[in-house]
Chains A and B, each alone.
Chain A
């Protein structure tokens, strides 16, 4: 179904989840955990494993975003856009 790119609550949630993930990947690791190699995650030093977890989270959110057309509002056929 055609959509409009105006914001909806679903698109807001998607972007909030994405911004959360980006911030989690970029800031805590480098400011608070940068000297920690332990605990290991998946057999990798902490910062590697930590960012892999957030990377997987981001991929899941972006797949959900694609499947829901990024939360864009559907437009009924024939409706005025």
Chain B
């Protein structure tokens, strides 16, 4: 390892230590309660919400995987502009309703929502299991992405396994100490880094070729097929547009960020902010395309960004930008680990293993869960191969299945718990089948649309089974209707943009997460 490699690793490590300090400060403000550790007391302000959502949303998938996709497949990843907007719109349409119900019924985990809306613990448990299982590979690619960066920065002296372990340790330390407050604070830091890092890296690399216009002229000569979409790419384009925002939105880390919001007005603004932030992909697009000319024979496309930065950018700037990539991985990984911990702790440990556990003990179980889940993701990073985008899309297609019972619960009175479970099992079952036996995916979905087809099957099964099974009880439907009326009347809105309070849920409501907790 030469002096430059040592300096690069020190710069990246420095950026990883800043969040440790923030986590330590955040932990001083935290309370030893599950609501504070997992939801920051439902008092997260607008700036924190935007940056923690954006930083959680931008991951290794976006920062590194997008470069590799532009490098390999030309404009295919450009569908990201539309999926960012779709993601923002979902925050308004679905997120605001989930926030309202979460506040009214005191939900902490996604399972609470499904149990309350369908009157069925089984639906909630199935959703929780799907979220845990399919978030793990997405967590895996964050560790892989971070490890790639350190590996390249160190000139290969720090091998992949040790680099991933370094990431694993730092994430655990600060999520362990500060809960959601620590995660949100560090995400503000990471979010700013990420946005500017992606754009600056792109402009810097494209300047090596005389700017974007000149760069594309050179690609037109050297590899013209990289300027257009390949034949049959339309299915992957549309599947990515549907699956990516749905899968990310239905991840447990985004559910947490819906419950934790202080003011409903933020949901009105999020589509614009998230849509505007999609500009950052302009940087990835420039990097990936510049790689076609500058590094035409890269053996590992996921490393194209750090390789080119260290080759063509000033050293310190390259190290800073690589640290931004590390920020992308860290900010998503910390949020995922944190939310998966809350799902296990509250939905399974407290419910089925030790119902009498106190608040302090639960927080400790949450911390130990963080340790175990990250260890699993670390092992997967070492032994499960695949491009970041490929692994990420499978993971997102899994969590995307949850959108069906979510929309059913919010907008379709005739939906039933049996229909929700049947749809989820069918969707996940076919997704696993299409992933491990791709030859079974029928055309035109065989061109990258397996996850989309699984979602279509999920919807069909959900609708048909719901229509042929007994509707939810009248008492539950009456409660849902009352909630819907209160939401439509915006019962929290007093004309200010301050802290929004929603009407308390009735005491004698159907089975809910709140009842269960109060009973204990």
Residues of A near any B CB (own CB < 8 A): 1-6, 18, 21-22, 25-26, 30-31, 34-37, 40, 43-45, 47-48, 51-52, 54-55, 58-59, 62-63, 65-66, 69-70, 72, 75, 77, 81
Contact = CB atoms under 8 A, between A and B. Distances in A.
B89 A36 contact: no
A29 to B, nearest CB: 8
A3 B490 contact: yes
Given A48-B285, A70-B268, A37 B220 contact: yes
Report, nearest first, the 9 A-B pairs whose CB atoms are least far apart: A43-B213, A81-B489, A34-B229, A62-B272, A37-B227, A25-B82, A45-B227, A2-B493, A30-B234
Given A34-B228, A37-B227, A58-B275, A47 B78 contact: yes
A59 B241 contact: no
Contacts of A58: 85, 275
A18 B92 CA distance: 13
A43 B206 CA distance: 13
B222 to A, nearest CB: 13
A68 to B, nearest CB: 10
B490 A26 contact: no
B159 to A, nearest CB: 37
Nearest to A6: B488
Contacts of A40: 213, 216
Contact of B79 (A26, A45, A77): A26
Interface of B is mostly: helix
30 contacts: A2-B493, A2-B494, A3-B493, A4-B489, A5-B488, A5-B489, A18-B89, A25-B81, A26-B238, A26-B241, A30-B79, A30-B233, A31-B234, A34-B233, A36-B228, A37-B220, A37-B228, A43-B212, A43-B213, A44-B212, A44-B213, A55-B85, A58-B275, A62-B85, A65-B268, A65-B272, A70-B92, A77-B495, A81-B489, A81-B490
A75 B82 CA distance: 34
A36 B228 CA distance: 6
Nearest to B494: A2
A26 B223 CA distance: 25
Contacts of B78: 47-48, 51
Contacts of A36: 228
Nearest to A64: B272
B134 to A, nearest CB: 24
A49 B428 CA distance: 37
A43 B218 CA distance: 12
A63 B270 CA distance: 10
B275 A5 contact: no
Contacts of B278: 55
B168 interface: no
Contacts of B268: 65-66, 69-70
Contacts of A62: 85, 88, 271-272, 275
B178 interface: no
A43 B495 CA distance: 46
A34 B78 CA distance: 12
A2 B265 CA distance: 11
Contacts of B285: 48
B327 interface: no
A43 B220 CA distance: 12
A25 to B, nearest CB: 4
A52 B275 CA distance: 12
B86 interface: yes
B315 interface: no
B491 interface: yes
A56 to B, nearest CB: 10
B430 to A, nearest CB: 24
Contact of B228 (A1, A6, A45): A45
A70 B237 CA distance: 29
Interface in B224-273: 224, 227-229, 233-234, 237-238, 241, 268-269, 271-272
A37 B224 contact: yes
A51 B272 contact: no
B306 interface: no
